[in-house]
Chains A and B, each alone.
Chain A
């Protein structure tokens, strides 16, 4: 295995995050803090507890998940799209690196950034609301699995996209709405029965629910269904990435 290459790609991507600290860390932390202030401190105090949890604390896992999904996708998508856009991808394709090593470098860096961001948001949340984590190992497991899965998904988008607009379309038009409708700010028990059934087709419900369970021990769907959905999406993303490198889709002619 070409570990020097993995390290080179990983370090390069991480240094890009440091160069763009405002965009990578400060901006998502600020926007999440605003959510806490508005929905947690201002409005949250007027909302009844959900499943025995104060509303301000209830939304923490969902907000972390919202940033985790969008940032994982955008970090990984931009990471691989930018060299395609500038043409520096030639170096990657002509280097003695396997698809696995390329993915480890790009997806590893994107997932690392998202995990760090998730933990920073968690620490920020602790400043606003009273938090205790019921299953910390599961919390970290969901955090890491989700970050890797959606970084892989972002990597796929970065290869599929042939313009900056396409790079943004999936996160903005699909992921963000699905996250908002996936129980970020509410329990799906609060929906009418019909919409409760419809919302079960939203994969983000499983992610938010599992993650929330790791915090409070309560969930909208079975914890194993959440884990299964996350691992299932991870495997699907891996399969697509494997096909991309096998066929050279958008990478080689």
Chain B
């Protein structure tokens, strides 16, 4: 798949000396959902802001669909929609006018039918004549998405799109994002909700302290870095682990009826077979078993910790 955004050696040092980005190289593939994960202050918003023209880079270059973001800013920006992190809206304007304004600002001829379609898809049509100040937080968030989509962008940046949004609405938004991807829009989202990245992203980038420490297909990332756990329900409670099982990464539940074995899927041998053999030899039986895989959240926390 070809790259629609190509970032080369991008660095940003703010006036106070804070280095927000350090030599970032990244290609975003056309049509994918790319999740950029990182703790607060990692450089996610700076990266997005540079691509969208809000922040000047210190060094490096970015091209969008082959056009440089500085030299050919008109073409680049016309392709990009941005949903900012903060709920920044003009309180006194009506919903419809605010979206129509955005469309005009991005150089598109008025198209009330298209705006109606967007507002309906985001469940905002009923509020089209309402002033923005009367909307709930979730509605304002959807309005920002409507504004970003008003000029039919091919690349959409969502900076913490579901921050402060309730669970139900969050799932609605995920659906909106999936529908957009289905129309060919490339989506880059930053999020604190790892569940969001896990749910939606095709690829994941992890950024911390201005450095992109990992870019990987989500499924591959979870396969590579994911740890699994084997949970055994014992047929009889144990008071302590037998000596012969001390070499395994085992945890006995307080009631002594559940044994949890953590293993690495990347290892050549997981140790499950020998564990079960040793348990049989020790006279420990089990009535049920289950396996669980670590979430993207666990992986993310491990990665960021290991980079400290």
Which A residues form the contact surface with B (CB < 8 A)?
2, 4-5, 7-9, 11-12, 15-16, 19, 83, 86-88, 90-98, 248, 252-253
Contact = CB atoms under 8 A, between A and B. Distances in A.
13 contacts: A4-B108, A8-B103, A8-B105, A87-B86, A88-B89, A91-B105, A92-B105, A93-B54, A96-B73, A96-B78, A97-B107, A252-B54, A252-B55
Contacts of B104: 4-5, 7-8, 11
Contact of A253 (B14, B52, B75, B106): B14
Most buried by B among A8, A91, A248: A91
Contact of B52 (A7, A87, A94, A98): A94
Contacts of A97: 105, 107
A12 B101 CA distance: 7
Contacts of B73: 96
Given A4-B109, A253-B15, A94 B53 contact: yes
A75 B37 CA distance: 42
Contacts of B229: none
A15 B74 CA distance: 27
Interface residues of B, number: 35
Contacts of A16: 92
A4 B76 CA distance: 17
Contacts of B138: none
Given A4-B104, A12-B101, A92-B105, A253 B74 contact: no
Interface of B: 14-15, 52-56, 73-78, 80, 82, 84, 86, 88-93, 97, 100-109, 147
Most buried by A among B53, B75, B100: B53
B114 to A, nearest CB: 14
Contacts, number: 80
Contacts of A83: 90
Contacts of B76: 96
A99 to B, nearest CB: 11
Given A4-B109, A8-B105, A88 B54 contact: no
Contact of A94 (B77, B93, B107): B77
B179 to A, nearest CB: 23
Contacts of B77: 94-96
B78 A253 contact: no
Contacts of B147: 91
B54 to A, nearest CB: 5
B3 to A, nearest CB: 21
Nearest to B73: A96
Contacts of B86: 87
A243 to B, nearest CB: 15
B107 A96 contact: yes
A134 to B, nearest CB: 42
B107 A2 contact: yes
Contacts of B52: 90, 93-94
B56 A248 contact: yes
A149 to B, nearest CB: 26
Nearest to B90: A88
Contacts of B88: 86-88, 90
Nearest to A8: B104
Nearest to A83: B90
